[in-house]
Chains A and B, each alone.
Chain A
Amino acid sequence: MKATDIVKKSKTSKKMKKEKRRSGLFLAPSFLGVMLFFVIPFFVIIYYSMVDNPISKEFVFLNNFKAIIQNKAFRTAAFNTFRFSVISVPLAVILSLILAIMLNEKVPFHSQLRTFFLSPLMVPVASVVLIWQVLFHANGAVNDILQFLFHTEPIDWLKSDSGYIVVIVLFLWKNLGYNMILFMAALASIPKDIIEVALLESANPFQIFFKIKIRYLSSTILFVTIMSLISSFKVFREVYLLTGDYPYGSLYMLQTFMNNTFKSLDYQKLSSAAVLMSIIMVIIIGSLFLVENAFGKDVEG
């Protein structure tokens, strides 16, 4: 190696080091914020989930987890949240994809329909909840319609075993528009020449959709699924505004449990529930990534 090359290399490496230092400094505020408000509190939560109480702080390892798994309220909350996510997330993904495909075609009033589906995003949750309460009350509009059409007995939807259906409808109404926009953007980015080639080779619309479009949409489907999953875990806000601290059993969600245990200072239950929930989230999201990797790896770009 020539001496000039060595000098050049050392100069480059010095420059790179300087560059790294500068980037590090620019990243520092965000890094500090994430550490301070997310990472450190998360470790504090893990610590609290393994001590008996915040005063004596005796290490009890997994005892809090055992206790919480045996707790009926936690089990009900976990079941309700799981049921809600399992039903609402696929529905949110599939329905928004159908809407996106529909609006991508030349359907009449497609721009009005797009605005219609996006409008729930602009409405504050508190007012949405108010409307929902009026609609699904025992004397509400939904019961009136059902009574008129099918002569059914009025149901107090939010205080019945079917309460979760109301929240699923609310969730879909609120989230479909956002998901739809993401899918529309992804659909627009699928290379047109591939579709044209497929058409020339006599592929039918179903083949084009399942063999080409779905493959190209796989990363967006993953993203929409993860976002919907996260939103489904956050549906507590709507449930709380609709029903308060202690809703009917079918609407008792994991975050309801956490909110109430926080209020009753039961930080051990709260932190162990939070740790369990995050483990489950990591497993679900990790699995989704694996599926996406396996399914969409041969797609270009």
Chain B
Amino acid sequence: MVKKKNLLKTGCLLLVLAMSMASLSGCGNKNEDVITTSAGKAEQVSGSSGIESEYLGKCYSAEYTDLYKGNENTYVELYGNYHGKILYRVSDYSNGEEAFYLFDLNTKESEKLDIKFTEDSDKQYIMNVSANKADQLAVLINEASGTSEEQSDVNYKINLYNADAGFEKTIDLKEIQNEYPEDDRYVSNLILLDNNCLAFSIGSDVIILDEDGNEKGKVNSSFDFINSMSLNNEGKILLTGYGMKGLETLIVNPDSLSSEGKYDNFPMAYNAAPCSTKDGMMIVASDNQLNLYDPASQKQDLILNYIDCEIIGNNINRIFVTDEGQIVLFLQDWSSNTSEMVYLKEIDPAQVVQKEEITFGTLFGIDSDVEKAIVNFNKKNEKYRIKVVTYANEDNIQSEDDAIQALSSMNNSLITDSCPDIIDLSYVNRDNLVQKNVLLDLNEFFDYSSKYDKNDYLPNILDVYTVNGVLTSIPKNIHLNVILGGKSVLGDVNSWTLQDFMDVCKKYPDAQPFSYTTKESMLFALLSGSSSSYLNYAEGTCNFDNDDFKKVLEFCNQFPEDIDYSNVDIDPDAYSKHEILFLDRTLWGVDDYMMYYSMYGESVKIMGYPNAKGNNGIALSSEGSYGISAKTKYKEAIFEFLEVLLEDEVDQFTYNSGISPRKSLLEKQFERAMEEEYVLDENGEKIVDENGEYIRIPKMTIGTETGMYEIYSASKEDIDQIRDAIERIDYLNSEDYDLYMMIYEEAQPYFKGQKSVDETAKVIQSRMSMYISEHY
């Protein structure tokens, strides 16, 4: 009896122990059926979301094909399956010629088609081409009528061709176009259905034409903009577009002319239209990965990560599946005007070359430059590959709190053994990381690299990135955060105090300091460069309870609380007429400066943000700022990657691509910006005007919120102005949003008349003193 009791007790005890162990084991990460990757190939354990498809659970290799070896003036566009081959078009901007080709995936050869879809390539432009299963073709043509001044008078036509590419008829869309407001007549997304009906989008509507080209009906999507149209396996049209909740989907039945709901849990497809497969699935290219979506179960699964397969995801322009079921991606790199076709080849996982992984940690993901550099590095390097770790991706970010949580998770990993080898420093506090010895001093990179010389870099820019003697990152290009104003208003001054700034504003009582100035925007603008006047990080003290700051609050208080932007139109000449005095801007380069020149109609002064002492330098920001973990085992491999990442040629500098921190490239940028452009005759000779002078032409025309501005070449004075501003760069614009928000929050009662300026300054001083002494 006693024995039995003991047995029962022991059994209970074991049960309790087993339950405790089981509950503890529940704390672990269950997400194990994700992907193992290696050497640029992706492998996936299938069925993680319950979808069964031939595309899942395979290991893919990306096979690249150059469809056409062109030059910088050549543009390639790919349309999809046609007669069992791939149809694409090559246009040459330099001579206006264009030709269509068919590419055979088996022989890897292209054959030129003897067809011409436009009569006058100067006035007609092919917008889209769609082929149906019977190999009939529909070509959407945009035809400009009248002179160049009347470019807005654009007419769309659809030309139809039979399976032998023989012309059948033209459908003029003018009548349909005219039913829409003038600024909403853009026709796009053509589909030739198998029953010879046509579908295209205009505004937020999908229009269906019958086989005779007559309007059968329309379906309103309620999207602001229809992003893409594609056919699903049932012959219904899947729309993606921007609605109230961001990118949304809508299924349209072209027969019943009705909408049939949407796909839930659909991956975000920003660039290319989704594509259907034979087994009824949809292949969707989202930001970082190629997904498979099952319309029946409304579930998605991963086919591959782009970087694992050495594909630049940002460049994906079109996806389609060949008749043999092979996935083909068409990549278009707009920055270098090159295009590539990639087809995914199934390979044996055993063939995959194993490489050591270097981790690249980023909060929100990588930009296209980094993606390109990683893919190039992974393609060339036989020993290492870079893997991107994103702490805040689409799956776990729904709100601002989620983003804060992700940042906290990233920060925690930086100071532990799970620190990534390469760190995106955009959202983290680099001072803090240097203090904790997390970052490697990148001066070592200059000792390693034979391609990059430290002396070629502008010293003040490297100083900005240096914390306590540690060079935290090396920028590829930089931008200046500045206040711009006309020389007639600012004179010859290069720096100013807050009082100077307020005095200039008082001098023009009828003018607005900035466009759409509110109390909040003015307070932020004035705090941007002056926080160091009030906060002393070195001593852990602050000084908001003084007359200077009270004056700032009083000055900001004269502006409206809010602006109804829908009722405010800015006169294009507002800047030249001194109705608006300044621009609070990021200066991207010389072309950008010249646009402001054109805006002000005079030389523009580049000023730093005013502060109490008037010793204001210029703030710098760079698109990407990447550090290296001091604990990395792959220092030299990362230096190799850094060489790829920092690669920059002056030819690649386009409008808004930034200012080079390297002296040699910067001078080339300046030279290029100073090159004049003139009107040329048919022999390429400059034409002179009635005064015998060459006729200058603008390098480009830029449209802004206030109007269109022509950009001419820069003069030596303009370049000197920019050079001087670059030399005055002395701090990194790392906006402490929490700090601004705290000040703004406390300023609100004063702006609403509930508190005096003294009380407000006292509260701000109290809260800020806690903030600053905590960081001391």
Contact = CB atoms under 8 A, between A and B. Distances in A.
B775 A264 contact: yes
Nearest to B14: A25
Contact of A29 (B17, B746, B763, B775): B17
A139 B754 contact: yes
Nearest to A248: B766
B631 interface: yes
B13 A247 contact: no
Contacts of B746: 159
Given A29-B17, A54-B416, A156 B755 contact: yes
Interface in B727-776: 738, 742, 746, 749, 754-755, 759, 763, 766-771, 773-776
A10 interface: no
B432 interface: yes
B767 A248 contact: yes
Given A72-B540, A264-B429, A29 B773 contact: no
B429 A249 contact: no
B770 A265 contact: no
A32 B775 contact: no
A76 B437 contact: no
Contacts of B754: 138-139
Interface string A246-270: 1111101000010011011111000
A196 interface: no
A26 interface: yes
Interface stretch (B339-347, B366-374, B407-415, B665-673): B407-415
A265 B432 CA distance: 8
A28 interface: yes
A209 B11 CA distance: 53
Given A72-B776, A265-B436, A249 B412 contact: no
Interface string A81-125: 000000000000000000000000000000000000000000000
A56 interface: yes
- Chain B residues touching A, majority SS: helix
A195 interface: no
Given A55-B438, A73-B773, A246-B742, A156 B749 contact: yes
Nearest to B404: A263
A67 to B, nearest CB: 9
Contacts of B763: 156, 159, 248
B412 A55 contact: no
B9 interface: yes
Contacts of B65: none
A53 interface: yes
B49 interface: no
A265 B13 contact: no
B411 A265 contact: yes
B17 A28 contact: yes
A265 B413 CA distance: 10
Contacts of B9: 22
Contacts of A248: 763, 766-767
Interface string B1-36: 000000001100100110010000000000000000
A28 B742 CA distance: 49
B374 to A, nearest CB: 25
Contact of B435 (A22, A53, A138): A53
A71 interface: yes
B577 to A, nearest CB: 43
B766 A56 contact: no
Contact of B774 (A29, A73, A138): A73
Contacts of A32: 20
Contacts of A138: 749, 754-755
B630 interface: yes
A282 to B, nearest CB: 26
Nearest to B631: A55
A73 B770 contact: yes
Nearest to A33: B20
B758 to A, nearest CB: 13
Contact of A245 (B17, B738, B759): B738
Contact of A249 (B437, B770, B775): B770
Contacts of A73: 770, 773-774, 776
Interface string A29-71: 1001000000000000000000001111000000000000001
Contacts of B766: 159, 248-250
A76 B773 contact: yes
Contacts of A261: 774
A260 B416 contact: no
A53 B438 CA distance: 9
Contacts of A264: 429, 432, 774-775
A84 B435 CA distance: 34
Interface in B529-562: 540
Contacts of A71: 540, 773-774, 776
Given A22-B9, A25-B13, A265-B411, A72 B435 contact: no
A292 B301 CA distance: 66
A29 B768 CA distance: 46
Interface string A216-250: 00000000000000000000000000000111111
Contacts of A72: 540, 769, 773, 776
A266 to B, nearest CB: 7
Nearest to B21: A29
A165 B437 CA distance: 43
Contacts of B774: 71, 73, 257, 260-261, 264
A245 B16 CA distance: 42
A56 B629 CA distance: 12
Interface in B405-443: 408, 411-412, 414-416, 419, 429, 432, 435-438
> What are the nearest 6 A-B pairs in CB distance?
A72-B773, A73-B773, A53-B436, A73-B774, A29-B20, A249-B766
Interface of A: 22, 25-26, 28-29, 32, 53-56, 71-73, 76, 138-139, 156, 159, 245-250, 252, 257, 260-261, 263-267
Given A29-B16, A56-B437, A246-B771, 4 more contacts: A53-B437, A247-B767, A248-B763, A249-B769
29 contacts: A22-B9, A29-B16, A29-B17, A53-B435, A53-B437, A54-B436, A55-B419, A55-B438, A71-B540, A71-B773, A72-B540, A73-B774, A76-B770, A138-B754, A156-B755, A156-B759, A156-B763, A159-B746, A246-B742, A246-B771, A247-B767, A260-B774, A263-B408, A264-B775, A265-B411, A265-B415, A265-B432, A265-B436, A267-B415
